[in-house]
Structure 1
Amino acid sequence: MAAVYMRRLGKELREIETEAPPAGLRLLKADDFDTWIFQIEVLGDSLYRGERFALKFRFDNTYPFSAPAVQFVVDSQMRAPVHPHVYTNGHICASILGEDWSPTLSVISVCITIQSMLASCKKKELPEGNDTYVRTAPDNPKKTHFVYDDDTV
């Protein structure tokens, strides 16, 4: 299993380094096959125009058969976007990171999906129950069982 994980991530990294990532995406860190960080910017006419966020991917040896742990970086310099599907600790409620994950998805396709999720947002607001979730959430967002009941944002 580890060989598949390393081969797949090596292939994705080579593609990212040799082909320019899509507009608004930039690889900031990929020193190993454990953690990658991307800068994500929503382009066009959006509530998030001009804002940049850092998106962290954590991989384990089950990738690509299970989703990576993906969250926005939240620290003294970065914050998560205010969005109905993004908690202030950076966790993202998106079905492709859980029950709708497919091994055909890639790091770039996840970035594009999250970029699109932000671009289509009509109202900047926190998810219902944000404070309670952030207080009790595990460090790894993959350990949360999200309920996907709102696909309108």
Structure 2
Amino acid sequence: TLASKIINEKESVPLKKKTVKSKGGDASHTFILSFSAMTSSSAPSRKALSKIACNRLQKELTEWQLNPPTGFRHKVTDNLQKWTIDVTGAPGTLYANETYQLQVEFPVNYPMEAPQVIFVPPAPSHPHIYSNGHICLDILYDSWSPAMTVSSVCISILSMLSSSPAKERPADNDRYVKNCKNGRSPKETRWWFHDDKA
């Protein structure tokens, strides 16, 4: 993975976590979903989701609750725009029984634009994951399609973790993280995807 040139800077919105435990499923690995509560004072410049985005996310949430992917568990609150997802590595992989947290933030025009997806530090040590939580995965950027869902993104990230041959950071980790201060988004990075390996 090679990441370079930070283009712009966005205001970082702090995550306020609130979860309610739900029943469901036995799993060898789990995704635990929660919506973070967000008030106008915590994000005064944030635009509301479009009606299309709200309807789409409500549909995704309903489908997840009715037919959750095998091995997934979720928790919910009342905010659709920012989700947190706990990911536990699959058995037989380098990340087996290790749990990490993803933060997923949806743009106003979702699903036409990809969500911002990062790991909340400490992020897993992986050749495509930077220590600040940014993920080098093409479907989160240039290869995003409106047909993709939160569930499909999670499955892709779990697959990326499961297929990793080593626990190590990208070669340019220190330089990239240094250039990403002040809450810059990974979507403001120009990514070069030069391999198809995890």
> Quick check: 1:44 aligned with 2:87?
no
Q: 2:128 aligns with which of 85, 108, 132?
A: 85
Give the 5 Å matches for 1:29-108: 29-74=76-121, 79-108=122-151
SS state of the match for residue 145, structure 1?
strand
Report the Cα offset of residue 60 of structure 1.
1.2
Matches of 1:7 and 1:32, distance apart in 2:
13
Higher fraction of helix: 1
Report the Cα offset of residue 29 of structure 1.
4.7
SS state of the match for residue 132, structure 1?
helix
Partner of 1:116: 159
Higher RCO, Cα 8 Å, sep 6+: 2
CA contact (8 A) 2:87 2:99 kept: yes
Matches of 2:145 and 2:138, distance apart in 1:
11
Matches of 2:125 and 2:95, distance apart in 1:
9
Matches of 2:67 and 2:114, distance apart in 1:
23
> Quick check: 1:4 aligned with 2:4?
no
Matches of 1:31 and 1:118, distance apart in 2:
29
Matches of 2:77 and 2:171, distance apart in 1:
33
Matches of 2:87 and 2:67, distance apart in 1:
17
Aligned residue type for 2:110 = Y
Report the Cα offset of residue 12 of structure 1.
0.6
Q: How many residue pairs align between the two structures?
A: 148
Provide TM-score, normalisation by structure 2. 0.70
Query: Which has the larger displacement, 104-113 or 26-35?
Result: 26-35
Matches of 2:164 and 2:75, distance apart in 1:
25
Report the Cα offset of residue 31 of structure 1.
3.0
Partner of 2:19: none
Aligned residue type for 1:117 = M
> Quick check: 1:151 aligned with 2:190?
no
Partner of 2:173: 130
Matches of 1:99 and 1:117, distance apart in 2:
17
Partner of 2:187: 142
Higher Rg of the two aligned structures: 2
SS state of the match for residue 151, structure 1?
coil
SS state of the match for residue 27, structure 1?
coil
Aligned residue type for 1:120 = S
CA contact (8 A) 1:98 1:142 kept: yes
RMSD across aligned positions (CA) = 1.5
Task: Give identity over the alignment, percent.
Answer: 41
Partner of 1:20: 68
Q: Where does structure 2 lack aligned partners over 5 or more consecutive residues?
A: 1-48
Q: Where does structure 1 lack aligned partners over 5 or more consecutive residues?
A: none
Q: Relative to 1, partners in 2 of residues 1:110 and 1:29: Cα closer, same or farther, differing over 3 Å?
A: same
Query: Which has the larger displacement, 57-66 or 30-39?
Result: 30-39
